[in-house]
Amino acid sequence: MNRTLSVSKTYFEDVKRVQNEIWQDIDVRDKIVIDVGVGESTKKLIELGARVVVVENDPQRIKELNVPIIICDFLNFPFQTRIADIVVFYFTLHEINPNFHASALSIASKIAPQVIIVEPFPHGCPAYEEFAWIWKNAMQSIGRFEEYKPLNYWETILKKVGFKIISRKIVNWKVNIPQEVLEDMVRVTIEDWKKKGVSEIWIDTLQKFLEKKPKMKWSDIAVIVGLFL
């Protein structure tokens, strides 16, 4: 087998393993789940048998999925009563101003008794830490947030709001991202950044990062499940 194809195959097997480990032991079947922000979590929750309702402020992002949608910023969620079983924040909390993390989780506690947080936890891979630093600054250049936090940060806020931590884990990547996968991702990212008006400084910095052909794994992933007391 071609070595590049072999590496890619191993990488995509790792993608499946990571996804399986994230959702392992989390029961969503037949439960009403509020998915904050449409994405790969939406498809996975449907696959796992959840009755998914998406909260999204960009309706164009959900046009290919046949699920109910509440069009709003989650911080302005229109309901303050129990309408669901679980709220899922899958790679979305780091895009919210940290000053409002507690507010977001407080809102979640009013609409569902259980919350699931899945967040990147960058450490241990210098190449990814550099990549995350570039991404954070790119988002700051357009007034957005990309604030990665450690697992204990999310635990502290959950407890402060009134949740009991019922499970916690870190899911690790084992395989480096193949260069061709990273190149495709950076190409799509740069196209998106240009549309959003990201500073050319950070677009150029990302291109130079790619030229170094970094040996990079994706971030570790923190998974925390909280139950509101």
Residue-level pLDDT, tens digit, the chain, 229 residues: 333 334 456 999 999 999 999 999 999 999 999 999 998 999 999 999 999 999 998 777 766 678 899 999 999 999 889 999 999 999 999 999 999 999 999 999 999 999 999 999 887 789 999 999 999 999 999 999 999 999 999 999 999 999 999 999 999 999 999 999 999 999 999 999 999 999 999 999 999 999 999 999 999 999 999 999 7
**How many Å apart are CA 195 and CA 193, to the nearest integer?**
5
- Predicted structure pTM score: 0.93
Amino acid symbol at 119? E
- Report the DSSP pairing between strands 51-56 and 32-36: parallel
d(CA 34, CA 57): 14
DSSP state of 177: P
Q: Which fold has domain 3-124+145-176+218-228?
A: Rossmann fold (3.40.50)
Determine if residue 37 is left, alpha or beta; phi over 0 gives left, psi from -120 to 50 gives alpha, anything else beta.
left
